[in-house]
């Protein structure tokens, strides 16, 4: 794992494999970003000219290497693009992405120094987090020598003034980034290794390590408790379901948040089997549970003055002679009955059980996170998650908080007219399907049916950004992304500060 540290030394005096500077597009060619002054001096003021000669333009995502001249103790200078040069500096997300590009480009190096424009504490944190996320690589199944190791250490250069605050910012970035990378590991793990039982064991181990209270309901406890949604989805698998509660409490907390995560460790679709071309990446259908798990651990590591309980609804959706059939009726936790019209609409079933159980503890807010619908991907694309809520204020707050931490989201409605289709079952209280058009909104309306009266609730559908199948960009790797973790942590942080 990549180590993070902070330094107030001059870039010229730092011993490292590489120094990373920022360059941007100016009106007359590339311009050096603040922080590169000492490096430029070593190049006798000609670093921008050298980079231009090598084809650098300053575009976002660009990375150009130059051997270091005499006067620098690092062997290499890496210039990363920041996009258009702005009079007001560079945004936090720009810095995160540039640091991520640098870390990925420098895979195999032992030590690199990030000499990016980071004067303010928030900028230091952004550079550190982007670098840590960009250094991520999942190599659990690759043989020795197959691929470069992540960069060993990233040093963030910060001003001497406020160095204590800078160090705290880097430590905060490490807590969030390491938990995001834990979530990525979970999403990327093959489904023959990650099932409900093994996921629960990982949560128990993390609870022991970080002082969290973890409770696991196995199939016997779920049967006794009447968790029909989890049991119905898990019936077809040899790996039975689990409901995992991961609780962090703070002695000075004045509010309690419940985060609920969909944890389908593999989704074949069940009897409503997915066709070839749609099931190869379905190990990622537990990304919501991974995000919730990571957010709770991060809240504990940050010592936030808020109570946060994560509920991981874990099951494997498989076809077999014991699997739930289209037409079956499930009695959910809490008593409602649901006619299953499509076994591939299973995420809402496990979430419904967990939402009802979470509501019994009377939290101030419930937020569920799920790779729930392909319809949301069609609506918003692969990089944006949808935000739905029974509270307009909560929906707008979460959308704004996501933007603050660099996650793309969009507020979505819950139109009352779409409820009708799923309430027209002739044999049950609800059907797990409704109108085809607006399917992502229908799924949100279904979940809303299980939220206790008086509790604010929000639903984040991360089906698009949870698993990235294209080429890496910024600090985003191919595979699991840890979508929604930062939004949940920022929401917990904001709540701890009394702004819930």
Question: Active-site residue among 197, 274, 331, 478?
Answer: 274
To the query of whether residue 348 is one of the catalytic residues in this protein, the response is yes
Question: Active-site residue among 97, 348, 395, 419?
Answer: 348
Helix (H) or strand (E) holding 63: strand 63-67
Query: Can you tell me the distance from the alpha carbon of 117 to that of 183, in angstroms, rounded to the nearest whole number?
Result: 29
At 401, list the tokens: 């908080």
The answer to whether the beta carbons of residues 41 and 71 sit under 8 Å apart is yes
Long-range CB pairs of 376-382 (<8 Å, 24+ gap) are: 376/412, 376/440, 376/461, 376/463, 376/464, 377/463, 377/464, 379/412, 379/440, 380/410, 380/464, 381/464, 382/464, 382/465, 382/468, 382/469, 382/470
The answer to whether the beta carbons of residues 63 and 79 sit under 8 Å apart is yes
Residue whose structure tokens are 């990622």: 284
At 88, list the tokens: 């007001």
The answer to whether the beta carbons of residues 377 and 362 sit under 8 Å apart is no
- Residue 496: CB atoms within 10 A of its CB come to 23
Query: Can you tell me the distance from the alpha carbon of 31 to that of 13, in angstroms, rounded to the nearest whole number?
Result: 23
Count of helices and strands (H, E) across the chain? 14, 20
Which residues contact residue 371 at a Cβ distance below 8 angstroms, ignoring those fewer than 6 apart?
Answer: 262, 284, 285, 287, 288, 347, 461, 462, 463, 466, 467
Residue from 111, 108, 85 nearest 27 by CA: 85
The answer to whether the beta carbons of residues 235 and 330 sit under 8 Å apart is no
To the query of whether residue 420 is one of the catalytic residues in this protein, the response is no
Instruction: Determine whether 55 is exposed, middle or buried from the number of CB atoms within 10 Å of its CB (0-12, 13-18, 19+).
Output: exposed
Torsion over CA of 23, 25, 30 and 35, rounded to 10 degrees? Answer: -30
Query: Can you tell me the distance from the alpha carbon of 164 to that of 155, in angstroms, rounded to the nearest whole number?
Result: 15
Query: Can you tell me the distance from the alpha carbon of 453 to that of 305, in angstroms, rounded to the nearest whole number?
Result: 26
307-325 per-residue burial string, b: 16 or more CB within 10 A, e: under 16: bbbbbbbbbbbbbeeebbe
Residues annotated as catalytic are 274, 348
């Amino acid at each position: 794992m990549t180590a993070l540290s902070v330094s107030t030394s001059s870039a010229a005096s730092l011993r490292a494999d590489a120094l990373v500077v920022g360059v941007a597009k100016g009106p007359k060619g590339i311009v050096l970003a603040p922080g590169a002054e000492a490096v430029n001096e070593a190049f006798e003021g000609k670093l921008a000219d050298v980079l231009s000669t090598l084809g650098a333009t300053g575009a976002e995502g660009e990375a150009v290497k130059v051997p270091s001249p005499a006067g620098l103790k690092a062997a290499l200078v890496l210039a990363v693009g920041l996009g258009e040069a702005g009079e007001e500096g560079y945004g936090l997300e720009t810095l995160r992405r540039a640091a991520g590009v640098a870390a990925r480009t420098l895979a195999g190096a032992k030590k690199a120094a990030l000499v990016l424009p980071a004067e303010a504490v928030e900028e230091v944190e952004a550079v550190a987090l982007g670098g840590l996320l960009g250094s991520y690589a999942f190599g659990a199944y690759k043989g020795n020598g197959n691929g470069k190791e992540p960069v060993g250490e990233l040093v963030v250069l910060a001003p001497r003034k406020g160095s204590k605050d800078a160090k705290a910012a880097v430590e905060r970035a490490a807590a969030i980034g390491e938990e995001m990378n834990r979530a990525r590991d979970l999403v990327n793990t093959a489904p023959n290794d990650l099932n409900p039982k093994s996921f629960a064991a990982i949560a128990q181990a993390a609870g022991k390590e970080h002082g969290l209270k973890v409770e696991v309901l196995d199939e016997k406890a779920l049967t006794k408790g009447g968790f029909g949604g989890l049991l119905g989805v898990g019936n077809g698998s040899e790996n039975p379901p689990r409901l995992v509660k991961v609780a962090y409490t703070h002695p000075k907390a004045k509010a309690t948040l419940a985060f609920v995560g969909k944890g389908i460790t593999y989704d074949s679709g069940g009897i409503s089997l997915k066709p070839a071309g749609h099931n190869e990446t379905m190990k990622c259908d537990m990304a919501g549970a991974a995000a919730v798990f990571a957010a709770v651990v991060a809240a504990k590591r940050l010592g936030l003055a808020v109570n946060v309980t994560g509920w991981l609804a874990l099951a494997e959706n498989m076809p077999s002679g014991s699997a739930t059939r289209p037409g079956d009726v499930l009695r959910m936790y809490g008593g409602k009955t649901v006619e299953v019209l499509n076994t591939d609409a299973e995420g809402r079933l496990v979430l419904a059980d967990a939402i009802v159980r979470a509501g019994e503890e009377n939290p101030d807010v419930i937020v569920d996170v799920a790779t729930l619908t392909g319809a949301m991907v069609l609506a918003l694309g692969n990089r944006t998650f949808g935000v739905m809520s029974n509270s307009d204020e909560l929906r707008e707050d979460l959308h704004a908080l996501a933007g603050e931490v660099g996650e793309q989201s969009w507020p979505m409605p819950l139109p009352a007219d779409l409820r009708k289709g799923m309430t027209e079952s002739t044999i049950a209280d609800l059907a797990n399907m409704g109108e085809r058009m607006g399917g992502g909104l229908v799924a949100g309306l279904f979940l809303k049916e299980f939220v206790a009266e008086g509790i604010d609730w929000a639903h984040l559908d991360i089906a698009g950004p949870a698993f990235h199948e294209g080429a890496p960009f910024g600090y985003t790797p191919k595979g699991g992304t840890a979508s929604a973790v930062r939004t949940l942590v920022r929401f917990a942080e904001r709540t701890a500060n009394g702004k819930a």
